[in-house]
Chain A
Amino acid sequence: MDINIAAQLNSFLAAFVLLTAFGMLVQRRMYGLVHLFAWQGLFLSVNTAVVGFVAGKHHLYISSLLTLTLKVILLPYILHVLIRRLKVHKEVEVVVNIPMTMLIGIALVIFSYYLMSPVTQLSTLVTRSTLAVALATVMIGLLMMITRKHAVTQIIGFLAMENGLFFAATSATYGMPLVVELGVAIDVLIAAFIFGIFFFHIHTTFDSLDVDQMERLKED
């Protein structure tokens, strides 16, 4: 594979990561969200492998495999089981309406491009242009956590943010050291388990996973 083609492939996959982030921002159905999350993980994993090839860093292949098993197979499976057990697969309530959310998302992309342009000019890596996309993915994950009322969608937003951070690490410095990446991966996995347990508890206490319900301290 030519290095030029690899760079193009890298930016193409970055664009698709951004696209899936936007897809999650506007998706109403719970299963659709989980599928989009899995797709984002897949693009991320392939992108990591491509970067590993371009940079000649072989530990990136390992973290690509790790992303594949964790974010494409394991986490979506856990979320699937959660959604099925808790019977929360209905349409999701949103705080801000969806066209408005899209416009805010576009503004965030422009903002992160503006923020990252000096860094991009200083960097000499092949992947430097995808840094803005990575920051935008983080911000869109944050926006998703803000605009959704449902606990499970907020968790998916959190995991999308983590995807963005991983992507930023790959494009800024060709990935973190393998020890750190292993640690983060295990953290995310444990977090997903703990979230699952919490969801069951919240569900039995409040009969709902709407975070508005949790603000009510009194029973009426």
Chain B
Amino acid sequence: MNIYKFTIECLQVTIVLETAPAFTLSLELPIASTADVIVLVALFAIARFFTALAGMDIGTAFGGMGSSREMTIASLAEPAMLMAIFTVSLASKSTSLSQMVHVIYSGHSILRPSLAFALFAFILIALAETGRIPVDNPATHLELTMIHEAMILEYSGRHLALIEWANMMKLFLFVMLGAAAFAPWGIAETGDPGAISMAFLFMMMKLSIVGAVLVLIETGLAKMRIFRLTEFLGSAFLLATLGMLSFFILE
């Protein structure tokens, strides 16, 4: 059914429209108040749900296998993701992204162990959620190792293009989410055009830095065995929890 194919793109585009401008460029856009992090995680989950359905929809064994693996990773990554976000929102006393950025801007303390832990956890989770190398290889078509590629194996043409686009949007969103929560410097505090164009420059700079780091990670690491993933994501959860604990213990 085409409905599944269509829903994925619809959802991803909705996510982008709803939240991306709010946390990539400025704090005072009209839709900034909708940029709640928990809502964002839930929207990612819905998009993933429909991708998994689309993977099973094609009726081959690979699609089902890919969907099952994707959901396994999701079930491990999501609690860790929420834990990392709770740690950041504990520090800012809000789950709204613009509020978090405000607090980090005005923050008097730079060395916060909880934020450092949450950042490490977030990097691990982002690698898993966007299907980058230690978890999933986006360029593979080897039967035994593919996860995301297995789901979309039977898609072609414009549907494949849209799915790939949605996937890249997801990577972009994760990078921007990380940048907004942990390194918000450069985001415009007001809505005037000059500040926003400066913020755009800063955004491009951050994106290129993260891209370079991603290249280093992907050339330096090999894809790990799928059964090691529980440890990988377990340590992400551990880091996020340690961040939350060190917020209570040390700050």
Contact = CB atoms under 8 A, between A and B. Distances in A.
A98 B231 contact: yes
A97 B51 CA distance: 32
A8 B111 CA distance: 6
Interface in B103-140: 109-114, 116-117
Interface in A3-57: 5, 8-9, 11-12, 14-16, 18-19, 22, 26
Interface residues of B, number: 23
Contact of A99 (B112, B114, B230, B250): B230
A106 B245 contact: yes
A19 B246 CA distance: 11
Contacts of B177: none
A132 B247 CA distance: 12
Contact of B242 (A11, A18, A26): A18
A9 B242 contact: no
A109 B230 contact: no
A67 interface: no
B238 A15 contact: no
Residue of B112, B113, B230, B235 most packed against chain A (CB within 10 A):
B113
A99 to B, nearest CB: 4
Contacts of A26: 231, 235, 238
Contacts, number: 64
Given A8-B111, A11-B113, A14-B113, A22 B249 contact: no
A22 B242 CA distance: 10
Nearest to B228: A98
A106 B110 CA distance: 25
B114 to A, nearest CB: 8
Given A8-B111, A11-B250, A19 B117 contact: yes
Interface in B201-243: 230-231, 234-235, 237-239, 241-242
Given A8-B111, A9-B111, A15 B116 contact: yes
Interface of A: 5, 8-9, 11-12, 14-16, 18-19, 22, 26, 98-99, 102, 105-106, 109-110, 113, 129-130, 132-133
B117 A15 contact: yes
A26 B235 CA distance: 9
B235 A133 contact: no
A106 B241 CA distance: 8
B115 to A, nearest CB: 10
Given A11-B113, A12-B113, A14-B113, A130 B250 contact: yes
Nearest to A99: B234
B234 A98 contact: yes
B119 to A, nearest CB: 12
A130 B116 CA distance: 17
Nearest to A129: B250
Contacts of B238: 22, 26, 102, 105-106
The 8 residue pairs across chains A and B that have the minimum distance between CB atoms = A15-B113, A11-B250, A99-B234, A8-B111, A12-B111, A102-B238, A15-B246, A132-B249
Contacts of A99: 230-231, 234
Given A113-B245, A133-B249, A102 B235 contact: yes
B159 to A, nearest CB: 37
A23 B14 CA distance: 40
Most buried by A among B110, B116, B235, B242: B242
Contacts of B116: 12, 15
